[in-house]
Structure 1
C-alpha cells in the first residue's frame, strides 16, 4: 500500500460550500481509490476562522478584545480540531455551536494561527492558516514649524510613517512613498491639526501654529482690580504711548481664582468666580487704541475659588489630594484648598474655556501661570484621573489641548514657568523640552531674588541681576533651539531683599538681550514700574 500523502490545491479538493452533487462525486472517487488500495488523503478548504481574518492588523484595543472561533459542525467536532499560535498549541473549547480558540495575550508583532482537523469527508483533512499583526505603536509624525514671512498662504510640511494616512484639519493629504507631505493653508488659520492614522487605527495628532514666531513684546503686569485704578492704569498706558512698552499683561483669572471680567463660562458663574472688575471688550479696545497688545494671564491650577467649591460639592477629584484623601496643603504656604487637580477633566476644561473666551474677546495672547503641580514631595500628593501619565506629560497635554481648543482664534499661547524648570523638569512638572513644542512662547520667571545662593555659580543672585538672568536664560535658549517658540522672560521690577532701581531692571533686560531675547514682561505686584529702566522700542 502506498503511504498516505497530502495534496494541496488538488482538483479533488472541496470544502463545505461544494454542491451536493460535487460532494457525492468526490466521495465516490475517494472510495474507489481506497478499494483499489491507494491511501490518499485530500486537503480540503477549512471550516473558516471567524473573528480574525488573514492579513488583518490589530491595535491594542482590538488585540485585547479579539475572539477567534470555528463553526462546530463545519470543523468536524471539538475533538477533531488542533490549533497553534506561532507554533505553540492553544486550547480549543466548545461554546454551543462554536469552537472557541483560546488565544493568549497577543504581543506586538506578526503572528500565525494554524487550525487543522480531519474533514467529515472520507480520506480528507483541512489546514487553515491566518496571518495577522498586532500594532500598538502610534505612527511617527514630524511636522516642520512653518516659515511665515508674508501675507500669503502658509505651507505645512512634514513626514509620517509610510503606512499612515495623513489629514490636516480633517482633509486627507497626499503622502509620498517616504511618508512626506505638504499642504498650504490660508494665512490667518492660526492653528491647524495634523493627524496621522496607521493601518491598525493608532493615531498621532499635532497642533501646529501657522503664525510663525511671536513678534517682540515688552509688557508690564497689572491685576484686574489694578486696571480699575485710574493712576495705575494711566501710568502703564503712558509707558505704552511713550514707546517703552508695546503690550499690557492684564489678569483674566488671578491667584484667588477670581475672573476679572463678567465671564460667561458656566462654571465661573456657578462658583461665583466671575467678578466683573473691568469690562473686557472696553479694556482691550483702550489698550489697542494706545498702541499695545493685550496679554490675558490665566492662573490655571492655583485656584482656591474652584477648589473650595469642588470640595464642598463632594467633587474631591478636582482637588490635589494627599495619599489619605485630604486636600494637599500646597507646600504649606498656599493654604489647604489652593491647588486644583490638573489631571481632572472638569478643571482642565474650565481653564481652556476661559482661554477660548478671552481670545474671542480680543485678547492677543493667552498666558498661563501656575500651570504646574504644587511644590513639595511628589509622594505626598495624588492626582485622580492621571492614569499612567507623569505629571509633566499631563501638564504638557493640557497646554496642547488648549492650543487645539483655541482653534481659529488668532491669540498666541504662552506658558509661565519656574526658572529651575530648564534643568529640573520634574520639580514642579514643567518639562520645557516638551512645552516648547505645544506653545508659542515660554515665559520663565527668572527673578534674581528667587534664586538660592550659588545657583549658576552666582554667590548671591539677588545682588547680581545680570549674571543670574543671563546664565539661567541660556538654558532656556538651548531648550528652544530648533523651534519657533520664543522665550519671553518675566523680569523683576520690585525689591525683595536688595533694592531694585532702574539700573537693576535694566541689567536684567540686557542679560535677556545677550541671549537674543528682546521680549520681556515686567512684574510688580502693585503695577508701579520704573520707566527710567526702559528704552524706546526700535522697529524691527
Structure 2
C-alpha cells in the first residue's frame, strides 16, 4: 500500500513538472515563431549588383505582420520606397557605386525589433572594349583579333566565348580577317556592352597594268608584261574577268554565265593565278558589271525584259553602246550574276575584284525606264557595292570600283557618288586620263597636253571626297595615244601627280595591252 502511494506521488510530481515546463516553454516557442524577420529577395547577401538587379530587390513582411509596418534603411538612413502589392521596392534603385547596407525592420513595443540586414556592392559601370587598330593587308592570312575588355569577366565574339586574362586582355585567332566582329562583354554585376568592330583593312598598294583576257592568251602581249613584273617595274597584273562585250574570259561555273553562253576559254583562271602568285605578282580581276550586251540580249530575247535598262516606251536603252548595252543594276538577277562572278573569282584566288561600269548609262534619266528601282540610281549602285564587298571580303579579296573622272564633281550623270560609295569599297580608281578631259577642266587649258596639271588637280578632288574614310584612291593613268602621243614623259608626269597627292599606287590603261612606252623604273 505504501509503495503504491509513493508511485502515485511520483507520477503527480512528474505531471506537475511537465505542466510547469510547458507553461514556461510555451511563451518562448510562440515568441520565436512570431519573431520571424522580414524576407528580402532579389539579391544575395554580399553580392555585387547593378541597377537592373536592384530593381528586383523586394521586401515582404514577416508572418503575422502587414507590409505597412516594415521600414527600410539604406546605409542606416530611411530610404524612399514604393509598394507593389504585398512587397516593398526601392523607389529609386539607381544607387551610387560602392558598398551599401540594407536593413528591413518591423518595430516592436515590448520586444526587440524584427530586422534583417544585408550588405551588397553596387557596380553600375559597364566594361569597356578596346581593339588593336592595326590594319589588315592580307585578307587570306590567319588573323588575330587582340584587345582588352576592361572590367569584364565574360567576352564573346560573334557569340563564341573568348578567354580573358587577369586584366581583361584577349587574343582571338581566326582563319582569316572577317569584315566585322560582334563583341559582347559582361561583368559580375551584370553590366554589359556590345560593340560591332569593323576590322580595319588597308589595301597593300600596287603598280599594275591592264590586260584583257584575249591579250593574256597572246604570248606577244603577255610575255612583255610578265617581264615587267619580273624586272620589278610593276607588281600587279589586272586581268579581265568579264569585259565590255559581256564575255567571261575563263570557263566560269556560275549558272547564269553557262546558261547565256558568256564563258570563254581564253585562260585558265586558277592556273594563271597560281603561276603569278608563285612569282610574287598580285592579280586584280576587272569585272565589267552593268554594261553587258550578252546578258542584256539573252534576257531580252527570253522575255526577261526587266533585266535591261529601257527607254520610256519600252525598248532596250542603247545610247552610244549598241542595241543591247546596259543591264539593270536594280534587278536581282543582274545583281546576283555579277556578285556570283565576283565571289567565284575571289575563290579562285584573285587578290582584288575591281568593278568597272559600276554605273548607269549616260543620258537623260527622265527618258530611262529602270524596272524595280526603289531608290536613287546613286544609292542603288552603293547598295550593290556594299553587298558585293561583304561577299568578296568573306572570300579573301579586296574590292575596288572604277569611276569616271567627272564623278568627283558631277556624280548625277553616271550615278557615282564618291562619298557615298567610299565606305563600301577598299579603293576607288578614278579614270583621270588627260585625253578624256575637256579644255578648261580644273582650270587646265589643254588637259591632254598637260598631264601633270590635270591629274594632280583632279586627284586632289578625289582625295578630298574620301577624307575621313579608310578608302584609298588608286587611279587609272593613261598609257595610250589618242590625239597626242603618250610616252615615258607623259606617263611619269601622271605618276608624279599621283604621288604628290599621297597616292603611291596606280594602274596603267592601254586597250592594246602594250606598255613599252610607260618608262617605269624598277622598284627596289
TM-score range, shorter chain: 0.5 to 0.7
Q: Distance in 1 between matches of 2:132 and 2:460?
A: 22
Post-superposition offset of 1:445 = 0.3
Could you tell me which of 321, 324, 334 is aligned with 1:334? 321
What do the CA deviations read for 1:226-258 (whole angstroms, capped 9, x no partner)?
101001110000000000100000000000000
Post-superposition offset of 1:408 = 2.5
Cα 1:169–1:535 shift into 2, 3 Å:
farther
Instruction: Give the structure 2 partner of residue 154 of structure 1.
Output: 145
Q: Distance in 2 between matches of 1:169 and 1:525?
A: 46
Could you tell me which of 414, 424, 446 is aligned with 2:400? 414
What do the CA deviations read for 1:51-90 (whole angstroms, capped 9, x no partner)?
xxxxxxxxxxxxxxxxxxxxxxxxxxxxxxxxxxxxxxxx
Instruction: Give the structure 1 partner of residue 440 of structure 2.
Output: 454
Could you tell me which of 339, 342, 345 is aligned with 1:355? 342
Q: Distance in 1 between matches of 2:410 and 2:172?
A: 38
Decide which structure has the larger Cα Rg and report it: 2
Cα 1:532–1:307 shift into 2, 3 Å:
closer
Cα 1:243–1:417 shift into 2, 3 Å:
same
Task: Report the 3-state secondary structure (helix = DSSP H, G, I; strand = E; otherwise coil) of the residue aligned with 2:239.
Answer: strand
Q: Distance in 1 between matches of 2:481 and 2:369?
A: 36
1:394 aligns with 2:380: yes
1:315 aligns with 2:324: no
What do the CA deviations read for 1:413-454 (whole angstroms, capped 9, x no partner)?
000000111112212011110111001110100000000111
Count residues in correspondence. Answer: 371
What do the CA deviations read for 1:151-172 (whole angstroms, capped 9, x no partner)?
7623699xxxxxxxxx975769
Cα 1:428–1:170 shift into 2, 3 Å:
farther
Instruction: Give the structure 1 partner of residue 39 of structure 2.
Output: none
Task: Report the 3-state secondary structure (helix = DSSP H, G, I; strand = E; otherwise coil) of the residue aligned with 2:322.
Answer: coil
What do the CA deviations read for 1:279-320 (whole angstroms, capped 9, x no partner)?
001111222233210000000000000000000011111000
Could you tell me which of 448, 459, 462 is aligned with 1:476? 462
1:485 aligns with 2:471: yes
What do the CA deviations read for 1:302-359 (whole angstroms, capped 9, x no partner)?
0000000000011111000111121111xx3101210000000000010000000000
1:225 aligns with 2:214: yes
1:515 aligns with 2:506: no
Q: Distance in 2 between matches of 1:466 and 1:366?
A: 28
Check whether the contact 2:143–2:176 (CA below 8 A) recurs between aligned residues.
no
Post-superposition offset of 1:187 = 5.6
Check whether the contact 1:249–1:296 (CA below 8 A) recurs between aligned residues.
yes
Instruction: Give the structure 2 partner of residue 252 of structure 1.
Output: 241
Check whether the contact 1:207–1:403 (CA below 8 A) recurs between aligned residues.
no
Check whether the contact 1:263–1:276 (CA below 8 A) recurs between aligned residues.
no
1:376 aligns with 2:363: yes
Instruction: Give the structure 2 partner of residue 404 of structure 1.
Output: 390
Cα 1:149–1:274 shift into 2, 3 Å:
closer
Please, which runs of 5 or more residues in structure 2 have no aligned partner? 1-129, 149-155, 163-168, 184-194
1:534 aligns with 2:520: yes
The RMSD of aligned alpha carbons is 2.9
Task: Report the 3-state secondary structure (helix = DSSP H, G, I; strand = E; otherwise coil) of the residue aligned with 2:490.
Answer: helix
Task: Report the 3-state secondary structure (helix = DSSP H, G, I; strand = E; otherwise coil) of the residue aligned with 2:311.
Answer: coil
Check whether the contact 2:235–2:281 (CA below 8 A) recurs between aligned residues.
yes
Instruction: Give the structure 1 partner of residue 261 of structure 2.
Output: 272
Q: Distance in 2 between matches of 1:325 and 1:145?
A: 54
Cα 1:231–1:368 shift into 2, 3 Å:
same
Task: Report the 3-state secondary structure (helix = DSSP H, G, I; strand = E; otherwise coil) of the residue aligned with 1:533.
Answer: coil
Instruction: Give the structure 1 partner of residue 48 of structure 2.
Output: none
Task: Report the 3-state secondary structure (helix = DSSP H, G, I; strand = E; otherwise coil) of the residue aligned with 1:341.
Answer: coil
- Pairing 1:77-116 to 2, within 5 Å after superposition: none
Calculate the TM-score normalised by the size of structure 1.
0.64
Cα 1:155–1:257 shift into 2, 3 Å:
farther
Check whether the contact 2:136–2:177 (CA below 8 A) recurs between aligned residues.
no
Task: Report the 3-state secondary structure (helix = DSSP H, G, I; strand = E; otherwise coil) of the residue aligned with 1:296.
Answer: strand
Q: Distance in 1 between matches of 2:449 and 2:477?
A: 14
Q: Distance in 2 between matches of 1:498 and 1:266?
A: 44
Calculate the TM-score normalised by the size of structure 2.
0.66
Cα 1:459–1:532 shift into 2, 3 Å:
closer
Cα 1:338–1:245 shift into 2, 3 Å:
same
Instruction: Give the structure 2 partner of residue 121 of structure 1.
Output: none
Instruction: Give the structure 1 partner of residue 252 of structure 2.
Output: 263
Task: Report the 3-state secondary structure (helix = DSSP H, G, I; strand = E; otherwise coil) of the residue aligned with 1:436.
Answer: helix
Q: Distance in 1 between matches of 2:147 and 2:236?
A: 30
Task: Report the 3-state secondary structure (helix = DSSP H, G, I; strand = E; otherwise coil) of the residue aligned with 2:403.
Answer: strand
Q: Distance in 2 between matches of 1:187 and 1:442?
A: 28
Q: Distance in 1 between matches of 2:230 and 2:371?
A: 48
1:367 aligns with 2:367: no
Cα 1:410–1:149 shift into 2, 3 Å:
closer
Cα 1:381–1:473 shift into 2, 3 Å:
same
Cα 1:184–1:429 shift into 2, 3 Å:
farther
Check whether the contact 1:222–1:249 (CA below 8 A) recurs between aligned residues.
yes
What do the CA deviations read for 1:206-233 (whole angstroms, capped 9, x no partner)?
994x362101200000100110100111
1:444 aligns with 2:427: no
Q: Distance in 2 between matches of 1:509 and 1:376?
A: 32
Post-superposition offset of 1:385 = 1.1
Task: Report the 3-state secondary structure (helix = DSSP H, G, I; strand = E; otherwise coil) of the residue aligned with 1:498.
Answer: coil
Cα 1:269–1:145 shift into 2, 3 Å:
farther
